[in-house]
Amino acid sequence: MSDAPDGRTACHIWLAYNDAENARDFAAMTALIAPDLQATVNGRAAVSSAEDDAAAMDRLFHAYPDYRREVMEVIDAGERATARWRMTGTPASGPGAAVLDIAGCSVLKARDGRITEAHLYYNGAALNAIVAPVPAEVLG
């Protein structure tokens, strides 16, 4: 049911990515992401490469030094997986900054041992500011 060389399904790959993410292991995270990863957040394009993913995760770790993602449930469907999760973290900035406490889910696709598509769904403005891409008109 998997086309990964080692037989891992999308579920196995995402769980390994989640473990690497919680360990802040960028090398392991990058090894599990396809260079041309396509990711959406609530139906909008957010990440279009492994480099974009690493940059978003770096921002997240800096904004929430104690960030963690807890896996609540996974559904394994071979090269596709669905995961329900909860992200938590205390902001690095001072009083009044938003605490991260977001429940959501991800729908994923993996090929050749790497995540090629990720679609995240959640309701949380604190996370939007970190993972959402900066609009081109703002960049100049």
Sign of CA dihedral 56, 91, 125, 129: negative
What is the SS3 assignment for 129?
helix
- Which helix or strand (DSSP H or E) is residue 99 part of? none
* Those residues with Cβ within 8 angstroms of residue 118's Cβ, 6 or more apart along the chain or in another chain: 37, 38, 39, 40, 47, 106, 107, 108, 109
pLDDT tens digits for range 85-131: 999 999 997 777 788 999 999 999 999 999 999 999 998 765 665 66
Residue located via tokens 């991800």: 106
pLDDT tens digits for range 31-90: 999 999 999 989 988 888 888 888 889 989 998 999 999 999 999 999 999 999 999 999
Contact 129, 121 (CB under 8 A): no
Contact 44, 36 (CB under 8 A): no
pLDDT band at 1, cuts 50/70/90? Answer: low
Q: Which residue has the higher pLDDT, 2 or 76?
A: 76
pTM: 0.84
Sheet holding 68-77, edge to edge: 44-47, 33-41, 114-122, 100-111, 80-89, 68-77
What average pLDDT does this structure show over 2-22? 87
Contact 54, 30 (CB under 8 A): yes
pLDDT band at 15, cuts 50/70/90? Answer: very high
Instruction: Name the E strands within 2-138.
Output: 33-41, 44-47, 68-77, 80-89, 100-111, 114-122
Q: Is the pLDDT of residue 137 over 80?
A: no
**Taking every pair of C-alpha atoms in the chain, what is the biggest distance, in angstroms?**
49
